[in-house]
Structure 1
Amino acid sequence: MSAQTLTYWRDRTLYVNASSRCSNSCVFCVRNFSDGVYGFGLRMSEDPSPDELEAAVLEKAAEGFREVAIVGFGEPLLNLDGVLRVLRVVKKRLELPTRMNSNGQGLLLYPDRDVPRELAKAGLDEIQVSLNAPDAETYAKLCRPEFGAQTFASVIDFVKRCSKLMETKISVVELPGLDIEACRQIADRLGVGFRVRQFKGPRQTLADIRQLLSS
């Protein structure tokens, strides 16, 4: 594999870039107008292997990080075996807390695997699932999932399963016309945490989203 950014960092958090692919094509995604974050270029031509991810994480083991976050430029669960390897290595060798951001489509990506249980067993302490909509119709408009109309319900199911095994939050990006309170009520009903994230992108994108949600 050619040189690619498999880890990056900010403050005392070590981030792991497990994949730059995604099963969504969100209209608000940073990937639409940037090649990375925090000054790191994060686009990759292919997913790293579990061995490559392990080596990249261990290379930073002595640099005093307080946590490891599996938050890359795509959906980390598309490289599930790589993610599981990182979690095991971090727990066994680094003994640091772990968290991950995901679109929550693990049940659709791997229908024959119990992804929440595998993540918990490997050592994931916290997962934040990007919901970004209060209903399936809005989700389809904003996130444009590869799996179609079934996706929203599956994400909710994934959140329910994760909440029994680890600290779980759902997040939404603050967008014009999006019913944030309705999203918050979903989190309350599921008994999970809730986070509102700021949109960081062009103003024209916000105008386009407002028009999209009003149609």
Structure 2
Amino acid sequence: MASKAMAKAMTITYKLGTALYINITNRCTNRCVFCVRTTAAGVADGLNLWLEREPTVTEVLRDIQQWDTAGLSEFVFCGYGEPLARADATIDICRELKKSYAVPIRVNTNGQANLLYEQDITPLLAGLVDAVSISMNAKNAQEYQAICLSEFGEKAYASMLEFAGKCKQYIPVVVLTVVDIMPPADIRACREIARQVGVDFRVRKLVD
């Protein structure tokens, strides 16, 4: 189990199925209307992922070490925030995980990191991140902004798609995702956009 000392203060890591999830920040450039952190008491069995503070890289790695990783299918950076809001920490953690575990690493992201840092960070993920899941959520910029409320406004949508395209050069698996509450016609439109970008596409449940 996760360390008792850290669990009393905050949940840094948690397990869903055969994946170990890593929760490193509550910061996010979006305020999605359907986000689980505003629509539910918690994930899984009500697990609260609000952090009292952002854990250090050392704390994250120590927390991971408390788990039995035998049979683990992947590490997933996903919690109550945007992991790439802490890109340096994400990269440092990935680098250490690659040294110690033969387990794939996935990052769930809103794809706005290049806007946030005003530079292309995708080359920094090469050899460290095995898969990236990018929340697409809409078929155009106007609808995206209406439901995701990005601090970058409507330009966030084009930047997100561009981020997905750049990730293809460095990350083996790149997936654009939408939630299953979208109308079928919108889902088809998003699937076509993903095809044009040249990445995979997945429809996810409203609460994963």
Count the aligned residue pairs.
199
1:134 deviates by 0.9
Give unmatched runs, 5+ long, in structure 2. 1-5
1:163 deviates by 1.2
Match of 1:131 among 120, 125, 136: 136
Q: Which runs of 4+ in 1 moved over 3 A?
A: 61-64
2:85 corresponds to 1:78: yes
Offset from partner CA, 1:155-188 (integer Å, 9 cap, x none)? 1110010012111000001224471111000111
- Determine if contact 2:77/2:106 at 8 Å carries over to the other structure: yes
Worse-superposed segment, 145-154 or 55-64: 55-64
Match of 2:150 in 1: 145
Q: Distance in 1 between matches of 2:23 and 2:182?
A: 29
Length-normalised TM-score, structure 2 = 0.88
2:186 corresponds to 1:179: yes
- Determine if contact 1:4/1:44 at 8 Å carries over to the other structure: yes
1:107 deviates by 0.4
1:64 deviates by 4.1
Match of 1:162 in 2: 167
1:104 deviates by 0.3
Q: Distance in 1 between matches of 2:111 and 2:69?
A: 32
Offset from partner CA, 1:44-102 (integer Å, 9 cap, x none)? 13221222212212232555423211111211111212211221111111121111110
Q: Distance in 1 between matches of 2:44 and 2:26?
A: 16
CA RMSD of superposed structures (Å): 1.9
Q: Distance in 2 between matches of 1:107 and 1:172?
A: 21
Give unmatched runs, 5+ long, in structure 1. 202-215
Task: Map 1:54-69 to 2 at 5 A.
Answer: 54-60=61-67, 62-69=69-76
2:32 corresponds to 1:26: yes
SS of equivalent residue, structure 1 residue 55: helix
Query: What amino acid maps onto 1:147 in structure 2?
Result: F
Q: Distance in 2 between matches of 1:132 and 1:62?
A: 32
Length-normalised TM-score, structure 1 = 0.86
- Determine if contact 1:21/1:75 at 8 Å carries over to the other structure: yes
Q: Distance in 2 between matches of 1:35 and 1:82?
A: 27
